[in-house]
């Protein structure tokens, strides 16, 4: 997977997605936390994250977005991603 400069990253916890914006436009990834306990509890028990592992899903490029994104805002209530260049 090729990922270039990322200016902004937003974690959408409800659907466990990572939204990134930068030189390659706006992309989404499925983000999976692999641990023994629930992620919040595991973070309290192991703040350094030694017992946690992470898996990044395939890159989903969002269409009709500018290529070089200089700003990102996510409105979770409305389900809208705002970007500007």
Mapped onto helix, strand or coil, the DSSP state of residue 67 is coil
Residue 53, in any domain of the structure: yes
Contact at 8 Å (CB) between 32 and 17? no
Contact at 8 Å (CB) between 32 and 46? no
- Provide the domain count of the chain: 1
pTM for the complete prediction? 0.79
How many angstroms separate the CA atoms of 50 and 11, rounded?
Answer: 21
Residue 47, in any domain of the structure: yes
Mean pLDDT of the chain: 88
Domain that holds residue 21: 6-84
pLDDT of residue 1: 60
Residue 33 has pLDDT above 90, yes or no: no
Residue 13, in any domain of the structure: yes
Residue 37, in any domain of the structure: yes
Q: Which of the four pLDDT bands, split at 50, 70 and 90, describes residue 48? A: confident
Residue 2 has pLDDT above 80, yes or no: no
pLDDT of residue 74: 94
Residue 1, in any domain of the structure: no
How many angstroms separate the CA atoms of 50 and 30, rounded?
Answer: 21
């Amino acid at each position: 997977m090729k990922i270039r400069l990322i200016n902004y990253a937003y974690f959408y916890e409800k659907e466990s997605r990572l939204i990134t914006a930068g030189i390659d436009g706006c992309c989404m990834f499925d983000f999976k936390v692999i641990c023994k306990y629930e992620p919040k509890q595991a973070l309290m028990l192991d703040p350094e994250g030694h017992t946690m592992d992470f898996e990044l899903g395939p890159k989903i490029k969002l269409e009709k977005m500018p290529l070089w994104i200089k700003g990102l805002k996510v409105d979770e209530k409305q389900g809208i991603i705002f970007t500007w260049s």
